[in-house]
Chain A
C-alpha cells in the first residue's frame, strides 16, 4: 500500500510539471475535437499525431497520446446527445437516450451526467491501473516464452470473440495482420522476407502507415461513398441549465457505478475496449431496469451507464499494455508504436526501469479527466459550432494532414504511397465486411508472437506440446480454446449479435 502511494506521488510529481500539464491539456483538447467531429476516428488521429510527438520527451508524448484517446470518449458523447451523431463508435448507444433527452429540453443534464459519469469512471480506472499495475508486472516477469505466446493467442481470441461480425473473418484478418508483420528483415537471421528488394520495405511495414491507410484513408473514401453532406439535424435551441436535478443524480448514480465496473473489466480484456463496453453497459441497464420501455425515450441511465463504461474501458485498456506489453486494441497498438519510436519496449521491464514514465502517465490520466470536465461543460457551445464545418472541406484537410504525417515519420514518399494502397485495401475490406481492427492487432503482435514461438520451441527442443505441458500456458490455451468454441456455438452467437443490434437501430 505504501508502495502504491509513493508510486502515485512520483507520478503526480512528473505529471504536474508545466510542460506535461500543457501536453495533457493539448491531448485532451485534440481528443475532444476528434471525438466531436464524425469521420475522423481515434485510431487515425493517434496515427496522424505520432510524428508530432517525435520532438517531445517520451513521457510527454505518451501523456498527450493518452489524452487524445480518453478525450475522444468525452467528445463523442457531446455530439451524440446534441445532434444525434455519434462522433465516435463508443458513443453510438448514447444517442439512443441522450438525443431524446435533448429533444425534451434536457440536453444540459444529459451532458452533465455524461461528464460526471466519465469523470467518476476515469478516477476509478486510474486507481485500478495503479493498484493492478505492480502485481501484474510481477506475474509477467514469471512468464516464459511459451506462456507469452499462449497469452497472446488468448488475447487475440478474446479480440475475436468480443468483436462484431463473423468469427471466421475476424480470425482471417488477424492472420493476415500476422503475415503483414513478417514483411521485412527477420529478427534472428536478418534475412529479408517478402520485401522484393524494395529498400523501403527492408525494415518492414510501419504500422502507423498501415493504420493510417486502413483507418484514415479508407474511412474517408467510405464516407465519400455515402455522400459528403451528412445529415446534420442540429438541435438549435440554447442549452439552458446544465445542472441535473437531485432525482437525476439519484437515478444515474447506480448506473454510473455499474457502467464503471463493467467498463473496467471489458477494458482489460483484449479486443473489447471502449466500444463493446458501452454497448454492454447499455444492454445491462436495460435488462435490469424496472421499466425497460423508458429506454430509448430519454432515460438518464441510458446516458450515464455507457458513457461511464466507455471511459473506464478506454483507461483500463492501458493495463495489459503497461504490465504485459501486449496491446489489447488498435489504439493501444499505436501506443506501442509511439513507445518504440522513443526506444521504449513496452512490457514489465518498463514499469521497473522507468517508473516515472508509467506512473507519470497514470497520474496524468486523472489530471486529464479533471481538465476534460472543465473543458467540456462550459465550452459545449464551441464544440457544437464545429459541427457546422462541412465534410466537403474537412476531408481534403484530413487527407493532407495524414499525408504530411506519414511522410514525416521517415521522410519517405514511399510510405505515403503505401498508406494510400492500404487505404484502398481498407475500403475493400469494409465493402466485404472484414473488420480492420483485428488486422492491426495481428500486425502489432506478429513479431512478438513469432519471437516467443521460436524461443519456446528452441527451449523445448522442438516439442510442440510445451504449450500444453507448462501449467500456466496450458490454462491460457485451454481458456482460448473454450472461448473459441463458445463463440462458434449457435446459441451464444445469437446472444452476441443481440448486443450489437442496438447499434443498427
Chain B
C-alpha cells in the first residue's frame, strides 16, 4: 500500500535487476494461481459444437489470468516499483489460530467455550493486550453473543458442550 510507509530497513532478498519486487512477486503468484486453476479444471469437458462445456469458462479465465499475471510480472521487472513490505507474524498467526480454534470447537464444545477461547487467542495477536480487561470484556462478549444469536435471532447454535447436554 502506498499509504503505509515501510518501517525500518527493508531487506533486499531480490536480485537488483528486478526493479519492482512487489509487482514481480505479485505477478508470479497470479501465474501460479492461473496454472493451478488450469490444472484443476483440466479434467472438465471442453467445447462441444457451439456450446460451452463445464471446463470452457474456467480455462478461458485461467488463461486470461495467466496473461495478466505475466504482464504484472513484466511491469515489475522493467519499472521501478515498491519493495516488498515486511510481514508481521504475530497478528496473522493468532487471528488465524483463533479462527481455526473456533471452527474446530464450535460443534463439539458449543458457543460459550468456543467464543471465549477464540477471543482470548485472538487477543494474543497484539502485545498491547491487558489481560484483566481482556478477560472481563471476553466474558461480557460471550454472554452477549450467547443471548443475541440463539435467542434474539433464533439461530440454531448450540451453547454448551455436547457431552454435558446428553
Residues of A at under 8 Å CB distance from B? 51-52, 54-55, 166, 168-169, 171-172, 175-176, 178-179, 182, 186, 188-189, 191, 193-194, 196, 217, 220-221, 224-229, 390, 392-393, 395-397, 399-401, 403-404, 407-408, 411, 413-414, 416-417, 419-420, 423-424, 427-428, 430-434, 450, 453-454, 457-458, 461-462, 503-504
Output the least CB separation between B35 and chain A (Å).
12
Does B128 lie within 8 Å of A453, measured CB to CB?
no
A54 to chain B: which residues have CB within 8 Å?
Answer: 153, 155
- The answer to whether A396 touches B123, judged by C-beta atoms less than 8 angstroms apart, is yes
A193–B71 touching, CB < 8 Å: no
If A51-B153, A221-B88, A225-B88 are given as contacts, then 17 extra A-B residue pairs at C-beta distance below 8 Å, sorted by A number, are A179-B65, A189-B53, A224-B95, A225-B91, A228-B126, A396-B134, A396-B137, A399-B98, A399-B99, A403-B102, A413-B104, A413-B107, A431-B87, A433-B1, A458-B51, A462-B49, A462-B50
- Of A196, A399, A423, A432, most buried by chain B (CB within 10 Å of CB) is A432
Q: List 30 A-B contacts (CB under 8 A).
A: A54-B153, A168-B68, A169-B26, A171-B68, A175-B61, A175-B64, A175-B65, A179-B62, A191-B44, A193-B44, A193-B55, A193-B58, A217-B99, A224-B90, A226-B4, A229-B128, A396-B137, A399-B98, A400-B118, A400-B119, A400-B122, A404-B115, A420-B103, A423-B96, A424-B96, A432-B84, A450-B57, A453-B57, A462-B49, A462-B50
| CB-CB contacts below 8 Å: B92-118 with A | 92, 95-96, 98-100, 102-104, 106-107, 111, 115, 118
Chain A residues lying within 8 Å of B134, measured Cβ to Cβ, are 392-393, 396
Q: Is B139 on the interface with A (CB-CB < 8 A)?
A: no
Complex Cα spacing A130 to B21, Å:
49
Interface residues of B in 58-85 (CB under 8 A from A): 58, 61-62, 64-65, 68-69, 71-72, 75, 82, 84-85
On chain A, the residues within 8 Å of B99 by CB distance are 217, 399, 403, 416-417, 419-420, 423
Q: Please report the C-alpha to C-alpha distance between residue A475 and residue B2 in the assembled complex, in whole angstroms.
A: 36
State the majority secondary structure of interface residues on B: helix
* Chain B residues whose C-beta falls within 8 Å of the C-beta of A404 in the assembled complex: 102, 111, 115, 145, 149, 157
Write the nearest CB–CB distance from A482 to chain B, whole angstroms.
20
* A168 x B75 contact (CB < 8 A): yes
Contacts of B72 on A, CB cut-off 8 Å?
Answer: 166, 168-169, 172
Contact B95 A220, beta carbon cutoff 8 Å: yes
- Which of A172, A191, A196 touches B54 (beta carbons < 8 Å)? A191
> Closest A-chain residue to B124, C-beta based?
A396
Shortest Cβ distance from residue B133 to the other chain A in the assembled complex, whole angstroms:
7
Cβ of B147 < 8 Å from any Cβ of A?
A: no
- Assess A424 versus B92: contact at CB under 8 Å? Given A168-B75, A392-B128, A395-B122: yes
A413 close to B57 (CB less than 8 A): no
Known contacts A457-B52, A462-B50, A400 near B57 by CB under 8 Å? no
A194 to B134, CA, bound (A): 42
**Per a CB cutoff under 8 Å, which of A194, A228, A416 touches B102?**
A416
Residues on A with beta carbons closer than 8 Å to the beta carbon of B4: 225-226
Complex CA–CA separation, A221 to B4 (angstroms) = 14
Query: Which A residues are in CB contact (< 8 Å) with B126?
Result: 224, 227-228, 392, 395
CA distance A145 to B28 in the complex (A): 35
CB distance from B164 to the nearest CB of A (A): 20
What residues of A have a CB within 8 angstroms of the CB of B37 in the complex? 179, 194
Q: Which residue of B26, B68, B122, B153 contacts A399 across the interface (Cβ within 8 Å)?
A: B122
CA distance A498 to B146 in the complex (A): 49
A172 touches B84 (CB 8 A): no
CA–CA, A419 to B72, complex, Å? 26
Kindly state the separation between the CA atoms of A458 and B52 in the bound complex, as whole angstroms: 8
| Max chain B C-beta neighbours (<10 A), residue from A191, A194, A217, A503 | A194
Cβ-defined contact, B157 with A408, below 8 A = yes
Whether the Cβ atoms of B50 and A461 lie closer than 8 Å is yes
CB-CB contacts of B24-57 with A at 8 A, as 1s and 0s? 0110011001100100110011000111111101
- How far apart are the CA atoms of A178 and B68 in the complex, in Å? 13
Kindly state whether residue B161 has any CB partner on chain A within 8 Å.
no
A199 to chain B, nearest CB (A): 15
Query: Which of B50, B90, B100, B141 is the one whose CB lies under 8 Å from A458?
Result: B50
List residues of chain A with CB within 8 A of the CB of B22: 431-433
- In the complex where A176-B65, A225-B88, A420-B96 touch, is A55 in contact with B103 (Cβ < 8 A)? no
- On chain B, the residues within 8 Å of A220 by CB distance are 91, 95
Query: Which residues of the other chain, B, contact A420 by a CB distance below 8 angstroms?
Result: 95-96, 99-100, 103
Closest to B75 in A: A168
Assess whether B130 is interfacial by the CB under 8 Å rule.
Answer: yes
Contacting residues, chain B, for A417 (C-beta < 8 A) = 99-100, 103
